Amino acid sequence: MKRVIVLGSTGSIGGQTLDAISQHPNELSVVGLAANSNAKLLKEQAEQFGVRHLALHHEVPGSGIASGMDALIALATHEEADIVVISVAGVIGLLPTIAAIQAKKNIALASKEVLVAAGALVMPMIREYGVTLTPIDSEHSALFQCLQGYRPDQIDELLITASGGPFRGKCRSDLEQVTVQQALNHPTWSMGGKITIDSATLMNKGLEAVEARWLFDVDIDRVNVVVHPQSVIHSMVRFKDGSVLGQMGWPDMRLPITYALLYPERLPNSLRPWNPIETPNLTFEPVDQETFPSLELAKQSLRIGGTMPCAMNAANEIAANAFLKGELQFLQISEVVNNTMREHAPLAATLDNVLSADATARAFARKLIDNA
């Protein structure tokens, strides 16, 4: 029996994680839950799963639930936990992840931003403390599955697939006046607001490329993205002998979530199995980098290195959320990120420098938006 703590249980991934856990009552149990501020839903989940240990990131008066970063860290390091699911939005998950690793908890990671901002810190800690990090993102889960039994020096290229988002096939002039509702109308996946906007800008693929570099110890220039509108092949690995392995399945996050939690086991579940006859036409297209510059901005941040990926990620969080609030035009999201990166003077990626870069980049991006 693996005892699980879920940080971000009231979000899209968190809810699907609880659903996946409920399908394996003999193998998985929930011992702790944390949310941003949705105390009502958190308490309902706690009652459903019989959970006593709860935390909130933001204080909710009268909830009786411990709140703040210290509460998240205390939950992530709880003695009853074997594995901690990090599915909180943004870089909030960084400190609880580090604390959980130091407490020798295995990590199931859904928050891209943890490795984007601090992959140079987190991955050496995974090795130092002898814990396991299993990725939950469908793309990284696919790569992780394809790479079982292989060494990094055997890899020629990691190919991350992208649906293309709601604006696939559009040019920049088509995107000047797009609405929030249009950007949230994803053709394949049902996700939270910020990550859906990242999908519309293709920044999510940039973040995934940076994350893949750290997860699989592959140079960023050997991590590439291909548009695959059907979202059936979740990613592929090309090896140095020319062979290509890909992982296939319906676009349902419960499958990679279950794999991450049960790894290395594979157990039956109630999910509908993929049938190739039902998707006979699988197609691939190059990324339009002129229309969607965010992918290259993310990769460039890692080439620069140090705290630059952290600054890039922070600016994108601020800009994407500003667009969701109607404070920014869609095409201005990548402009805010680019201008923040130009302003940022990167330092070595120590924890203090990462946290400082995150705060400074957020403030600068916010200033850009306020003056737009």
pLDDT tens for each residue of the chain, 372 residues long: 999 999 999 999 999 999 999 999 999 999 999 999 999 999 999 999 999 999 999 999 999 999 999 999 999 999 999 999 999 987 899 999 999 999 999 999 999 889 999 999 999 999 999 999 999 999 999 999 999 999 999 999 999 999 999 999 999 999 999 999 999 988 777 677 888 999 999 999 999 999 999 999 999 999 999 999 999 999 999 999 999 999 999 999 999 999 999 999 999 998 999 999 999 999 999 999 999 999 999 999 999 999 999 999 999 999 999 999 999 999 999 999 999 999 999 999 999 999 999 999 999 999 999 997
Please give the Cα distance from 115 to 53 (Å, whole number). Answer: 26
In sequence order, the β-bridge partners of residue 106 are: 83
How many Å apart are CA 208 and CA 167, to the nearest integer?
19
Residue 170, sorted as left (phi over 0), alpha (psi -120 to 50) or beta, turns out to be: beta
Cα separation, 113 vs 92, in Å, equals: 9
Tokens of 221: 């220039």
Provide the pLDDT for residue 186: 82
Per-residue confidence (pLDDT) for residue 193, from 0 to 100: 85
Q: Give residue for tokens 């088509």.
A: 174
Are the C-beta atoms of residues 322 and 328 closer than 8 Å to each other?
Answer: yes
Contact 124, 98 (CB under 8 A): no
Q: Which amino acid does the sequence have at 62?
A: G
What sign has the CA pseudo-torsion 97, 101, 104, 108? positive
Predicted pLDDT at 188: 77
Q: Where are the domains of the chain?
A: 2-136, 141-251+268-299
CA angle centred on 355, ends 350 and 360, rounded to 5° = 120
Phi-psi sector, 169: left (phi>0), alpha (psi -120 to 50), beta? left
Ramachandran angles phi, psi of 296, nearest 5°: -70, -35
Domain 2-136's class?
Answer: alpha beta
Specify the length of the chain in residues: 372
In the prediction, which pLDDT does 372 show? 78
